[in-house]
Amino acid sequence: MLKADRPALALAPMDGVTEAPMRCLQGELGGFTYAVSEFLRVSQDVLGAKAFLREVPELALGARTATGLPVQVQLLGGDPERMAGSALVAVHTGATAIDINFGCPAPTVNRHDGGASLLKSPCRIREVVRAVREAVPPEIPVSAKLRLGWDSIDDIYENAKMAAEGGADWITIHARTRSQGYAPPVYWEPIGRVRQELDIPVVANGDIWTMDDFHRCREVTGCNHFMLGRSALANPLMQGMVARELGLPAPVLSLDWTAHLQGLVRHSQGLPASGTLTRLKQWIRIASRYGEFAHFDALKRSQSVDEFFEILERETARPLIGHV
C-alpha cells in the first residue's frame, strides 16, 4: 500500500519488455519499490488461475520476484463484472495488489473496450474500479493507471475523481493524452493539480529521462511517488539515482552493459532461447534509441544468444560505459 508521506518508485509495465525475467533483474539491480505486470486483458471471460501464473509467475512466490521485488497485477478491460471476477481470481492465485489499466493507447486495445478508450467515459472508470474494489478483500490495494485524457489534458480531473470515488487506493498518471501516444510533450502540471485535489497518493509518470527531468517533475507535481519505464532501460543507473534522491535504498552501480545483459539471460533460464534473444534485442533497441548504447545495429543481426555475446565482445574490448 502506498502512503502519501512515504516515497516510492515503480517500474512501469511495458508490453513484451518488462516480462518476468526483466522484473527479476530489476529487483536484483535495486532501486524500485515495486513493479507492475504487463496487462492481462479481460475480454469475454473471467481469467483463470493458469493465465495469471503464466503471465505473472511471481504469484507463486508471494507476488515477489525471486530477487525480492513486489509485483502488482495489472488488468485491462471495460466490463465491471468480468474485471471484478478476474481480480478475485488473481488474489486467490497470490496477488497482493491489483492495478487497472485505463491508459494503454494501442488502437487494437482501444477498439475492444480497453485501456485509454474508457477515458472517454468517466463514469465507467468509477464503475470498473468500484467493482474490483468491492470484489477483493479490503487489505488488497486497488489502483488505477490513467492518461491525461483521450485528446484533452483537462479530462484528467474528472477521470481521476471518478477513479478515487470508485475506491482506488492510489492512481498513476502518464502525463500525455491517448492521442499523443508517446510523442512529446508531456504535461506534468495537471498531475500536480490532481494530487492537490485528491486524498490519495498520485504517482507521476512520463518522460523522466534524466535527473534534471526528475527534479522538474517533482517540483511541478509536488509528488513523491514516481514511475519509470523506458528511461530505466535506456540507462540502468537511472532508477538507483532517483531512488537515492527519494531517500530509498539503492546500491551504487556501474553501467556494465555486458553484465546487465547477462543478468537478463540468467533470469530467463528455463524459458525458450529464442525468447531470451528477443528480450535482449528489445532492451538494446530501447537503449540505443533513447540512451547511448552504441552497438544495436551489429547486435540486431545475431541469431542466437551465444552469437549475441560474441558480437558484443567483438564490438567492444571492454564493458560498454554509458553516461550517468
Side-chain half-sphere exposure of 187, counting CA atoms within 13 A? 16
pLDDT value of residue 112? 65
Task: Give the mean model confidence (pLDDT) for residues 267-279.
Answer: 90
- What percent of the chain lies above the pLDDT cut of 70? 97
- Does 217 participate in catalysis according to the annotation? no
Q: Active site residue: 104, 123, 217, 223, which one? A: 104
* Under 8 Å between Cβ of 156 and 190: yes
- What percent of the chain lies above the pLDDT cut of 90? 85
Q: Which domains does the chain have, with CATH numbers?
A: 8-245 (3.20.20.70), 257-315 (no CATH)
Q: What is the pLDDT of residues 115-162, one digit of tens each?
A: 888 899 999 999 999 999 999 999 999 999 999 999 999 999 999 999
Tell me the pLDDT of the chain averaged across its residues: 93
Instruction: Tell me whether strands 170-177 and 225-228 are parallel, antiparallel or unpaired.
Output: unpaired
Q: What is the pLDDT of residues 235-270, one digit of tens each?
A: 999 999 999 999 999 998 889 999 999 999 999 998
